[in-house]
Amino acid sequence: MQTPTANPRGAEFWNSTMGHSWVSQQAVISDVFTSVTSVSLGAAAAKRGERVIDIGCGTGDTLLAFARIVGPSGAVLGVDISAPMLDLARHRVAETGFGNVTCALADATIYGFEPRWADLVYSRFGLMFFDDPIKAFTNIRSGMKAGGRLVFVCFRTMPESPWFRVPIEAARPHVPPQPPLDPLAPGMFSFAREERVRGILTEAGFHEITLKATDVPIHGGDIAQSMAFITQAGPLPALLENATDDQRRRAMEAVRNALAASIGADGRDLHVGLWLVSASA
């Protein structure tokens, strides 16, 4: 049975090739995002006994972290639109034996959250894909206690994230021209503009809104791991989508050379430019 959704295109995207790619690359993606996860969990500051909703919980990295932090007296709800990713998250939760975690395959725009349940709503890169973000955040707020905390991390503009900009600039000369992207369309960089994020959250009823610009190093590891990530996640796969085999080969070679020239021995010489966003319900 299909999951009800307000965003059929997004649901199709995350339940097809991209969702399965994130599952197959789970260990690599978890490693690459080590610093991002640490910084954003620190900002969330979950406490023992709290109830947490993790929106776009994906394959479960942050879900498991929250389960440990809140302990058996707390509870964690993970929500994601991607069946393959959520299946892996459920498997990982079962393996750890946590009894305080529930997973919901759902679109947070229309999911029936238990009213005034959560002390904290958190997301690591899971909130930029809504077709109707005001409706989505309004619905999310309905599941939060009065004064509950919303904390999430999202990307600033692509030029502010060399981890993505360097491979894109290397590949672009070798592939067909791409049409300009709509900066407001659902996607990785749709929350790049501070005023847009503030406007959405204000319209959805949040207050005490803060955005902190933060540059976070990426744990690219060696070139093989960096290539495994960058060719499966981020904006590069879309750039290569309509390339011929020869164009793809030349683009991949250029990307590999650019990364080799940019990342340090520990793979951390490139960073992503993020907003750390917080607000109160």
**Between β-strands 144-155 and 101-105, what pairing exists: parallel, antiparallel or unpaired?**
unpaired
Q: For residue range 135-193, list pLDDT tens digits in order.
A: 999 999 999 999 999 999 999 999 999 999 999 999 999 999 888 888 889 999 999 99
DSSP string, 124-147: ES-SS--SSHHHHHHHHHHTEEEE
**Model pLDDT, residue 4:** 67
Straight-line distance from the first to the last Cα atom of the chain, in angstroms, rounded to the nearest whole number: 33
Q: What span, in angstroms and rounded, lies between the C-alpha atoms of 126 and 154? A: 8
Q: Provide mean pLDDT across the span 13-32.
A: 84
| pLDDT at residue 28 is higher than 90 | no
**Model pLDDT, residue 69:** 98
Highest mean pLDDT of the ranges 159-168, 220-229, 230-239: 159-168
| pLDDT at residue 265 is higher than 60 | no
| pLDDT at residue 2 is higher than 60 | no
**Model pLDDT, residue 255:** 93
Q: For residue range 34-65, list pLDDT tens digits in order.
A: 999 999 999 999 999 999 999 999 999 999 99
